[in-house]
Amino acid sequence: MADSDYDLSIRQYLEDGTAILRRVSDSPRLDAELLMGMVLRKPRSFLHAWPEQQLSEEEAACYEELLRRRFAGEPIAYMTGIREFWSMPLRVTPAVLIPRPETELLVERALLRLPEDEETRVLDLGAGSGAVSLAIARERPRAQVIGVDISLAALELARGNAKLQKIDNVEFRESDWFDAVRGEKFNIVVGNPPYVAEDDPHLGRGDARFEPRLALDAGVGGMNCFRAILERAHNYIVRQGWLLLEHGPDQHMALRRLMEAQHYHDITLHKDAAGRDRVTECRFVE
Ligand code: GLN
């Protein structure tokens, strides 16, 4: 069907798509390939193996429509419905925050506090797609992980992701922070709660524009959720147990003060791969 005047090959469409997306994306080539993969219902490896294959008119129109949506800012993860976290492809929808690579640091630090050979209990506050809960549950089969979220749509997605990944030492509960775990104690409490300041221009840029405000915006200074969590967390942590929270690059000192006010010990900051303050942990002693 190839029109001799035009090159309608996968290679050409990918090149054109990459050039267009360069203006709006940090990963234009990858985005173009993911969108092409969606259109052809093939893995990216297929695109590399068959760059000369021609697109039908219908496929080309479909690809161009996807490029338009991506150009208008729609996050690639919401378009493909998949985002990889901790090497697990997870389902994501606009009901949840798109898991960020830097959040793997929260998982890494939590794992260091979780012995492999013991039965432990872990609570994940604001589970969203389930990324953090699932990564911990996968790495610590003897741990029982409970992920809580206030959003029913998020819970449904997280439960689906657990099934998809065949992880069964995890449970997701509807909860306003600790409401659904009253009377229970955990060895470790982790959380990536909303922590963006309500007036942060970041909310109006990039993927964040399309993400649920509920999962990002934490009022003045972005501290509302941290405050709510720290007022109650000590009731749910075993003696010598740990609390680990992801936060913004400029929030460590404010968070440290809240932790000190609640008499936590061993307050320690961890930086992400980009060298930014990202996770603070502390131990509940009394
Ligand atoms: N790191 C996220 C962002 O910068 C914020 C995540 C959160 O609020 N929990 O968009």
The answer to whether the beta carbons of residues 146 and 122 sit under 8 Å apart is: yes
Per-residue pLDDT tens listing for the chain (286 residues): 444 567 899 999 999 999 999 999 999 999 999 999 999 999 999 999 999 999 999 999 999 999 999 999 999 999 999 999 999 999 999 999 999 999 999 999 999 999 999 999 999 999 999 999 999 999 999 999 999 999 999 999 999 999 999 999 999 999 999 999 999 999 999 999 999 999 999 999 999 999 999 999 999 999 999 999 999 999 999 999 999 999 999 999 999 999 999 999 999 999 999 999 999 999 999 7
Q: How far is the CA of 215 from the centre of ligand 1 (A)?
A: 8
CA atoms of 225 and 248, how far apart (whole Å): 13
The answer to whether the beta carbons of residues 97 and 126 sit under 8 Å apart is: no
CA atoms of 102 and 121, how far apart (whole Å): 24
Span 10-72 CATH architecture: Orthogonal Bundle (1.10)
Return the H-helix or E-strand segment holding 104: helix 104-112
CA atoms of 46 and 36, how far apart (whole Å): 10
Q: Tell me if the pTM is above 0.85.
A: yes
Q: How many residues does the chain have?
A: 286
Which mutation among 92, 196, 203, 213 tests ligand 1's pocket best, with the greatest number of atoms within 8 A of CB?
Answer: 196
Q: Determine how β-strand 237-246 pairs with β-strand 277-284.
A: antiparallel
Supply 280's token pair. Answer: 């603070």
Query: What phi, psi does 83 have (nearest 5°)?
Result: -140, 135
Please report, for residues 115, 143, 151, 263, the alpha-carbon distance to residue 207 in angstroms, rounded to integers and kept in the order given. Answer: 36, 33, 20, 37
Q: Can you give the residue ranges of every domain in the chain?
A: 10-72, 96-283
Q: How far is the CA of 99 from the centre of ligand 1 (A)?
A: 9
Give the residue carrying structure tokens 């992701």. Answer: 161
3 CB neighbour count, 10 Å cutoff: 9
Tell me the CA end-to-end span of the chain in Å, nearest whole number. 75
The protein residue with its alpha carbon nearest to ligand 1, atom 9, reads 194
Supply 224's token pair. Answer: 């509302």
Which mutation among 125, 246, 272, 278 tests ligand 1's pocket best, with the greatest number of atoms within 8 A of CB?
Answer: 246
CA atoms of 59 and 88, how far apart (whole Å): 29
Which residues pair with residue 21 across a beta bridge? none
Which residues pair with residue 270 across a beta bridge? 279
CATH top-level class of 96-283: alpha beta
Q: How far is the CA of 214 from the centre of ligand 1 (A)?
A: 11
